[in-house]
């Protein structure tokens, strides 16, 4: 599992639970696509999952979803997009993609 260093605490907790159950987790510098590409390349033999917030609520910046889709498609990785802070913002457009994507959100915030 590759996780952005500024992901919401709920994602961090999920990664900790996954690690406790045998998953390998890697924290990637905030929005660093080069580091993510290198990490995915180094673990090409593994089934990789990339998890990120779409909108980072504390900083107000937005993940480069298009580039993440390209990276995950190239490395055959699952992309998990947490849209809890970007619901109804029309940030993510997945039309035409062949990537493996899971979009999650919440109605509690």
Asked if the structure places residue 109 within a domain, the reply is: no
Strand ranges inside 35-106, DSSP E? 49-53, 78-82, 101-104
Asked if the structure places residue 35 within a domain, the reply is: yes
Q: Are residues 60 and 88 in contact, defined by beta-carbon separation less than 8 angstroms?
A: no
CATH code of the domain in which 93 resides: 3.40.640.10
pLDDT value, residue 19: 96
Asked if the structure places residue 94 within a domain, the reply is: yes
Its domain, for residue 52, covers 2-104
Domain count, the chain: 1
Flag whether pLDDT at 5 surpasses 80.
yes
Whole-prediction pTM:
0.81
The 10s digit of each residue's pLDDT in 18-32 is 999 999 999 999 999
């Amino acid at each position: 599992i590759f996780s952005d260093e500024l992901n919401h605490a709920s994602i961090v907790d999920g990664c900790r639970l996954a690690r406790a159950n045998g998953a390998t987790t890697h924290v990637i510098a905030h929005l660093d696509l080069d580091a993510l590409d290198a990490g995915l390349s180094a673990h090409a033999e593994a089934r990789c999952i990339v998890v990120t917030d779409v909108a980072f609520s504390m900083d107000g910046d937005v993940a480069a979803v298009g580039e993440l889709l390209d990276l995950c498609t190239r490395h055959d990785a699952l992309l998990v997009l947490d849209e809890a802070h970007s619901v109804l913002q029309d940030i993510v457009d997945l039309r035409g993609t062949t990537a493996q994507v899971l979009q999650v959100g919440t109605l509690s915030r």
